[in-house]
Every structure is written in C-alpha cells, then in structure tokens.
C-alpha cells in the first residue's frame, strides 16, 4: 500500500516496550503506526532457533543481536566525575539487545512483577496514577498465566507465563530450598501472589521450552497483517526534528540512507541507554552538556541521562555431585528465586534477592556447575548516561556507579555471607563437591566462544571433574585460583569487600534515565502520561521512565509500562 507522508504514531525501538506499543496502537484501524527497530526482525515463522529455544542468554558471547560497540563503566567505588572515571576505570562490554523484541528476545525470560511497594513508591515520587492498584490491571492484561487464576492473575493476555515446580527441580535446588526455609525464607508456589520474604519458582515467559518474546506475543502474524502497521527493521534513529517545541519527525538510517519519517506523535522506546541518548542528540537534556557538544537546546531537562539504576549482583558457584545436577532433558536452569529483608536502617522490607540456576550453561562442563547470585533488589546507587559526541554512530558514555551508595555494598556483604551459610548447610553439602566465589569466569566464556574445539575441551573437562578427587581439585584450582576459600573470604570484611568490588555485575536491568515525575520537578523527564516535559508530540515509554528500579527483573514491568501508556494514548 501507499504509506502516508505522516504517521499518526511513530514508535522508535522494537524492544520489550516497542512491540507492545505498535501492536496496541495499531488496534485502532483509523491510526497509522510505524515501528522502527535498529536490529533484525524476527517474524513468528522465521524466528531464529537460537532465540526461540530454551536458553539462558542466546548468543550471549557472540556479536549477533547486540550493540557491539557499547561499553560501560561499572565504577564500583562510585561518585567520580566523567573525567575521573575515564582516567581510572576500564570500560567493559555491555550486552544491550539490538533485535526485534529487544531484551525479551535475549534475556533469561524471567516474568517477575516486583512487589506492591515498588509502584506505590513511584507514585510517592510524583508518578501519579502509577501506584500498585493502578499498575495491577496492566500486569493482568499482558499475561496469560498457565498455572494460577484469581484476581492477581491474567488469563487472556498475549504473554504466556508458567513455572517449573519443585517436582521437576534438581537435587541442588531442592536442598538449597530447604536450607533457605530454615533461614526464614519459606517456600511458596506463586511469587506474584506472595509479597513477603520467601523462595519461589521463577515465573517465566516461556512455554514448554520455547521463548515467547514481545516480538512473538504481540507482533504475531495477525497483527503483522494489519494494513495500518508498518514495521521497519535495521533502522537506526539518529535524531528528532522539531518545529519550534513540537516533535514532528524522526531521522534514521535505513539501509544506509538517511530517511525522514514524520508523525503526529513520536514515542521513544529505545531503552534506558539509547532513549536518553536520542533525546540529548535532539536537544533535550542538560543544557550545559548539550552546548558542550554543539547541540541546540530545545528543552533544558537536567534529568535526561541521570538516575541510571540496575541491580548489582555477585555470584557464588557450586560444583555439583551427580545427584545435585539438573536432568539434561529439563531445559530451564532457572529454578529458584528468593527475596528477603536485610533489616538495614533506611532500607525497605524484601529489599534483597537470591537467584539460583541449577546449570551454568548447556555445555558438558556447564552442566556440572550451579550459580547462586545475590544482591540488593532495591538498589540505591545511581549512575548516568552522557554523550561522548553528537554523532549518532558514537555510543554514549555510561557509568552505572554500582555500589556508590554504601548501603548497597553493606547489604551485598551480608548477602554473600548468607549464601555462604546456605551453601554450607548439611543438606546442600550432601549434593555438592564444593563452592567457590565467582560465577562468570574467562575460561567458561572462552569455551563458549571456541565453537567445536570448545565443546571438545568442555567434554574432556567434564570427564576429569568426575574422575575423582585428585583430578577434580587440580582442575578446580586451575579454573578458580582465587575462588575456593569462601570461609576465609567471608570472615574478613576487607577481603570480602575487595572481591565484591572486583566482581560485581549489573543484571542488565538498566532503568531510570528519563524518569517520570511531576511537571514541576526539574529532575523529571516525562510526566505520568509519558509525555516529555517542555515539548509537544513526544513520549517516552520504556524502562527509562521508571523512577526507581523495582524488586524484580525489569522486563515485565517494562511491558506493563507500554500497556499502560498505550491505553492512555488510546483514550
């Protein structure tokens, strides 16, 4: 068909939020909708197997489907200037999705909502209408829960959610669950119905071993047949065009050529790193910073790029005895999630998390290892996103400032000690050969990257690990030279803090950089309807508008945000 010179709605970014927005807004046959995604499309009948199959992070160690030039500073000591960070820290690669479905196409498929206090906090911070009672209907709208019914669950939404219950858990997860219950985290079947301390099966957007991303759930074949919806993959947004203070068009590189796409309403859903970058390149952001890069100021919004948050985590590994290992036929390694209260002053209840994967990866050697990660679910540290250049091909400067707030470090310290105690419990010791510090290691990454040769080395290593105590200990010392003496490390604050700072990772839950708030709040970027304050015709609807990080993986909350804002636009 002939496409209009000006769309009603232009959605920038086909990630977890963008797919939802495109699907919901195009339900109105009178509205023309255009969806742009920087990466490749993944239609249902041509979904790549590496995305569709049950996997922890598909292609995680390859360069496909990610922004390959994006690096970040974890800066675990925190609160340095941008210049100090560059001079003193080393950037690391950050795996940000660049594919239709965004994070929902490459993540661990965890469908946690968070807890009611997360959203009530958003409302207290100025996001009027985003309290728990306001958000729950949209959590219900998005989901088709295959396990539970009742007022807290949706049964008709596009996103299926199910759990792997303890009857299918491996020996390690069962033993750890028992130890956690003895430590005050009782088991419950439904994490989304029990807001208190406890341990639970992970709810996941996965149906019997097949990932269901928002690209699949929302952009199904019937939706793609709508004559009022245009989907443009491999389209990289460069900047927004304004007529005075109204956004009127987006400029993007499509198949190597600059293309201008005009719209009545432009909705940015490019994620917590690229959404603020696009706004700043287009003249919306801290005025002084924009002028430093020669960018004309359209709206001075100092909050653009500020308030960057994530969940800091560290990992402890366990080498499993055969009776502790997951049956290879069971594809889901994510078995148990636990939340607990630190009891620290100025910290809310249920502010900490533990996640258990009963398999590191599908390789022969990865089958023998489990990973237990721990950290603050309600983190207080804040980082920022800034421009390195006004050029759109230059990735932004990103500093997470993990552990910059001392409360995050102190709670992480206590969390590691708790996990060590649980790993030392008799029932857990009965199913493991030993535990060690560190979940991500260079040698495991190298094996994943080495193709057939890596598979052969992995198979040989797995046989050696099962050959008896002497070869097992030798191989473990080679692989983990600094990670075996957990008792010594956890008994010494300095050693423990040094290890935490050296190994802390974010959880790929970047959010907060275009936060919602009251119009009078100078730090807010969007109002509670998602509209960018100070301009017209422009919204942001993704994880960047979260005022604070929820106590959960952020994917489901991001989908909820898109559902809620799409509903508001329809009205």
As to burial, measured by CB atoms within 10 angstroms (0-12 exposed, 13-18 middle, 19+ buried), residue 203 is buried
The tokens for 209 are 């071993």
- Rounded to whole angstroms, the Cα distance separating 285 from 524 reads 11
Using an 8 Å Cβ cutoff, are 193 and 152 in contact? Answer: yes
Among residues 354, 470, 370, the alpha carbon closest in space to that of 414 is found at: 354
Angle between helices 16-25 and 555-570 (to 10 degrees): 30
- Written as one string, the DSSP assignment of 409-447 is HHHHHHHHHHHHHHHTSHHHHTTEEEEEE-S--HHHHHH
CB atoms within 10 A of CB 228: 20
Query: Is residue 433 annotated as a catalytic residue, yes or no?
Result: no
CB atoms within 10 A of CB 494: 8
- Any residues with CB less than 8 A from the CB of 88 and at least 6 apart, and which? 80
The tokens for 222 are 């019937």
Taking the alpha carbons at both ends of the chain, their separation in whole angstroms is 28
Question: Which residue in the list 8, 319, 420, 509 is annotated as catalytic?
Answer: 509
Please report, to the nearest 10 degrees, the dihedral formed by the alpha carbons of residues 232, 237, 243, 245 taken in order: 120
Give the position of tokens 């807890």. Answer: 115
| Alpha carbon of residue 519 to chain centroid | 28
Output 280-284 pairs: Cβ under 8 A, ≥24 positions apart.
Answer: 280/304, 280/305, 280/386, 280/387, 280/396, 281/238, 281/239, 281/387, 281/390, 281/392, 282/239, 282/240, 282/241, 282/242, 283/240, 283/242, 284/532, 284/534, 284/535, 284/538
Angle between helices 406-423 and 171-182 (to 10 degrees): 120
| Three-state DSSP state, 6 | strand
From the DSSP assignment, how many helices (H) and strands (E) are in the chain?
Answer: 18, 24
- Written as one string, the DSSP assignment of 350-378 is T-EEEEEES-S-SSTTGGGEEEEEEEESS
Q: Catalytic residues, which ones? A: 509
């Amino acid at each position: 068909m002939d496409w209009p010179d000006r769309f009603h709605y232009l959605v920038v970014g086909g990630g977890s939020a963008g797919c939802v927005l495109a699907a919901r807004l195009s339900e109105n046959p009178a509205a023309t909708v255009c969806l742009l995604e920087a990466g490749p499309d993944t239609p249902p009948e041509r979904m790549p197997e590496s995305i569709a199959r049950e996997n922890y992070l598909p292609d995680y160690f390859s360069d496909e489907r990610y922004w390959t030039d994006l690096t970040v500073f974890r800066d675990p000591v925190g609160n340095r200037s941008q210049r100090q960070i560059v001079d003193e820290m080393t950037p690391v690669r950050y795996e940000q999705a660049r594919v239709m479905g965004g994070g929902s196409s490459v993540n661990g498929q965890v469908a946690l909502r968070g807890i009611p206090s997360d959203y009530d906090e958003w409302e207290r911070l100025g996001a009027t209408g985003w309290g728990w009672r306001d958000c729950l209907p949209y959590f219900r709208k998005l989901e088709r829960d295959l396990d539970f019914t009742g007022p807290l669950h949706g049964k008709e939404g596009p996103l299926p959610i199910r759990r792997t219950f303890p009857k299918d858990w491996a020996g390690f997860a069962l033993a750890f669950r028992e130890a956690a219950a003895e430590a005050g985290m009782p088991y419950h079947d439904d994490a989304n119905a029990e807001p208190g301390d406890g341990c639970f099966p992970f709810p996941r957007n996965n149906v019997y071993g097949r990932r269901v991303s928002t690209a699949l759930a929302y952009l199904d074949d019937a939706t793609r047949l709508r004559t009022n919806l245009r989907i443009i993959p491999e389209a990289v947004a460069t900047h927004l065009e304004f007529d005075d203070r109204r956004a009127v068009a987006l400029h993007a590189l499509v198949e190597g050529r600059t293309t201008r796409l005009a719209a009545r309403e432009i909705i940015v859903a490019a994620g917590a790193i690229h959404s603020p970058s696009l706004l700043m390149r287009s003249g919306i952001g801290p005025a002084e910073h924009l002028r430093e890069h020669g960018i004309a100021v359209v709206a001075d919004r100092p909050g653009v790029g500020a308030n960057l948050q994530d969940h800091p985590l560290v990992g402890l590994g366990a080498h499993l005895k055969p009776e502790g290992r997951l049956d290879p036929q069971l594809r889901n390694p994510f078995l148990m999630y636990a939340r607990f209260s630190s009891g620290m002053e100025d910290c809310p209840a249920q502010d900490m998390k533990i996640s258990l994967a009963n398999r590191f990866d599908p390789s022969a050697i990865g089958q023998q290892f489990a990973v237990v990660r721990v950290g603050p679910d309600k983190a207080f540290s804040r980082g920022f996103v800034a421009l390195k250049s006004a050029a759109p091909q230059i990735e932004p400067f990103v500093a997470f400032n993990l552990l910059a707030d001392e409360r995050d470090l102190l709670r992480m310290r206590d969390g590691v000690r708790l996990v060590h105690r649980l790993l030392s419990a008799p029932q857990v010791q009965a199913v493991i050969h030993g535990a060690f510090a560190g979940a991500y290691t260079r040698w495991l990454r190298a094996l994943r990257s080495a193709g057939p040769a890596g598979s052969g080395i992995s198979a040989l290593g797995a046989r050696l690990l099962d050959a008896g105590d002497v070869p097992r200990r030798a191989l473990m010392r080679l692989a983990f030279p600094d990670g075996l003496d957990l008792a010594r490390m956890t008994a010494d604050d300095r050693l423990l803090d040094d290890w935490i700072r050296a190994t802390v990772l974010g959880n790929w839950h970047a959010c907060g950089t275009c936060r919602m708030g009251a119009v009078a709040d100078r730090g807010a970027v969007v109002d509670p309807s998602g509209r960018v304050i100070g301009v017209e015709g422009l919204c942001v609807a993704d994880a960047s508008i979260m005022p604070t990080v929820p106590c959960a993986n952020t994917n489901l909350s991001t989908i909820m945000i898109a559902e809620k804002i799409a509903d508001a636009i329809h009205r």
